[in-house]
Structure 1
Amino acid sequence: MIDNNRNVVQGVDGSDANTGSIMTPDMYRSVFLRQFTSQCSQSYDKMMAYGFMYTLEKPLRKIYPNDDEYYSALDRHTEFFNMTPHILPFVAGLSISMEEQASKDPMFDVSTINAVKVGLMGPLSGIGDSFYWGTFRVVAAGIGIGLAATGNPLGPVVYALIYSVINIATRVITARFGYDMGTKFLEKSAQDNLMGRVTDAAGVLGMTVVGAMIATMVVLNTSLVFNLGGAEISIQGILDEIFQGALPLAATFICLWLYKRGVRTIWIILGIFAVCILGCAVGVFAA
């Protein structure tokens, strides 16, 4: 079908007949609008995963006409995901291109899709937070505040316009860039067998990010002290000399073990509260 307004030739299934791509303007529009829901359904264990899955829902339906494959793809994208929302469309476009390749290649390892997503979360969020929260927003606010301080009522409007233009432009451009980049990369990967190396690198990077999160975000110290020959010996001091961060790491692995045993996340969270409160009350943990 030829749309004279867009000059895009579409096949009967809604794909672009010129390129074979399923990413028609309607699909990009769906991704653009739906990705604003990425922060509307956050949870402790999934973060932005459900909003991300909803962002991909329409392209995934087009990629996988078979219900079983479609639902499997949706389930794949309910794994933990969290990043600066402004550049989330880049990962969405990349994921769509990988899903499209997976639907065409029965030998494609679908686990690489989430591996790449996890590997990109940390680096892209570091860049995104620095630019959007720490630079563009501050500069836009500075201009708006400067106008408002002189009594100009357009100060808040100017701030909103500057930041919104940058925000929306980024979300539009990165979605297309992510999809195009993913398509070209996957085509080259099929020839040079690059996906295995990318998967390994993404896995290492993902584990590094998780390790850094444990070291910086999980805090657990013991206040136990023993007296030996009149000298006080701090258990925490001994642990720090042997392996700094041993208790947070042990607590993380215990939670992971419980999760793999099928314990619901809410019960693990409540258990953490109970153990920490009781431990502080009896003097095992430091408040």
Structure 2
Amino acid sequence: MNKTIDKKTLHSVFWRSFALQGAFNYEKMQNIGYAYAMTPVIKKLYDKENDQAEALKRHLALFNSTPAVTPAIMGISTAMEEQNANHSGTFDASSINAVKAALMAPLAGIGDSLFFGTFRVIAAGIGISLAQKGSILGPILFLVLYNIPNFAARIWGLKYGYKVGVSSLEKLQKNGLMDRIMSIVGIIGMMVVGGMVATMLVVQTTIKFSMAGATVKIQSIIDQIIPNLLPLLITLFVFYLIRKKVSISKLTVGILIIGILAHVVGIL
């Protein structure tokens, strides 16, 4: 008999989603909050402790997105976990995290623009204008105007994320399109990581030397060869160390120490 997620379980996921950033960390960001929200689903679908442990381990992977839009991803994850529980022999469980990774960045861009860049600014503007006049409605209106779309996005996202996920996954499995989607998701994920490295990781060397009376900057030469080469090389080196099972905590501390020393010496 196939197992399905009921409304009570979805309600638990909804309320738990508010704790998404309660255990935010710099290693895997919102992963603990995401796993906490998915726990009722895991307990509902899997009877064996080993299966529950594997599912929890899946959702402890790195995750970071706008809290208001994250329930939509949780709804899709719920639908995929349901498919995995009912078709464990044919369903690729690794696709659950792959879809999460592919959705979190694009939805974060939309969510940040809407909730942090639009709704919060408008609500704050109205609230502050009233508060400056001494009205108690200032802070109240700010909370109401910001949280109405916030709650609506969470409720609608979780509900339709699960609904669309269930109906779509069955068709994808039958048509054999899941492998193609996984390939596309992998490409998109690599593009997002590459874009983040090029735009968010800034590493430049200050080394320079004199030649024939002219000052030559090493960074200018590197930029002429391949722009952003140093961030790329550092990223590949860190990736290599991670593949060698070097602790993330040790890597973080090591990078901080090396960065400070390189700056003091005048290399970077």
Output the TM-score relative to the length of structure 2.
Answer: 0.95
Match of 1:86, SS state, is coil
Aligned to 1:129: 112
Aligned to 2:73: 91
Aligned to 1:75: 57
Matched, 1:228 2:211: yes
Match of 1:220, SS state, is coil
**CA separation in 2, counterparts of 1:87 and 1:266?**
29
**CA separation in 2, counterparts of 1:249 and 1:261?**
18
**CA separation in 2, counterparts of 1:148 and 1:270?**
45
Matched, 1:56 2:29: no
Aligned to 2:8: 26
Q: Match for 1:69: what amino acid?
A: D
**Displacement of 1:146 after TM fit?**
2.6
Deviations 1:34-63 (A, max 9, x none): 111110111112000111011001111111
Deviations 1:199-221 (A, max 9, x none): 11111111111111111221111
Q: Pairwise CA RMSD of aligned residues?
A: 1.5
**CA separation in 2, counterparts of 1:273 and 1:174?**
39
Match of 1:85, SS state, is coil
Match of 1:232, SS state, is strand
- Within 5 Å, give how 1:183-262 maps onto structure 2: 183-262=166-245
Mind listing any 5+ residue stretches in structure 2 that lack a counterpart?
A: none
Match of 2:209, SS state, is strand
Aligned to 1:12: none
Aligned to 1:100: 82
**CA separation in 2, counterparts of 1:280 and 1:88?**
38
Matched, 1:149 2:138: no
Aligned to 1:9: none
Q: Match for 2:50: what amino acid?
A: D
**Displacement of 1:229 after TM fit?**
2.1
- 2:23·2:32 contact (CA, 8 Å) conserved in 1? yes
**CA separation in 1, counterparts of 2:220 and 2:230?**
12
- 2:5·2:82 contact (CA, 8 Å) conserved in 1? no
**Displacement of 1:21 after TM fit?**
5.9
Matched, 1:111 2:98: no
Q: Match for 1:54: what amino acid?
A: Y
Q: Match for 1:252: what amino acid?
A: T
**CA separation in 2, counterparts of 1:174 and 1:282?**
51
**CA separation in 2, counterparts of 1:156 and 1:279?**
47
Deviations 1:226-272 (A, max 9, x none): 22222222111111111111111111111111122122111111111
Aligned to 2:251: 268
Deviates more, 1:244-253 or 1:149-158: 149-158
Match of 1:155, SS state, is helix
Runs ≥4 residues deviating over 6 A = none
Aligned to 1:13: none
Deviates more, 1:38-47 or 1:148-157: 148-157
Q: Which has the higher contact order (CA 8 A, sep 6+)?
A: 2
Tell me which of 152, 176, 198 is aligned to 2:159: 176
**Displacement of 1:25 after TM fit?**
2.2
Mind listing any 5+ residue stretches in structure 1 that lack a counterpart?
A: 1-16
- 1:22·1:59 contact (CA, 8 Å) conserved in 2? no
Match of 1:226, SS state, is strand
Output the TM-score relative to the length of structure 1.
Answer: 0.89
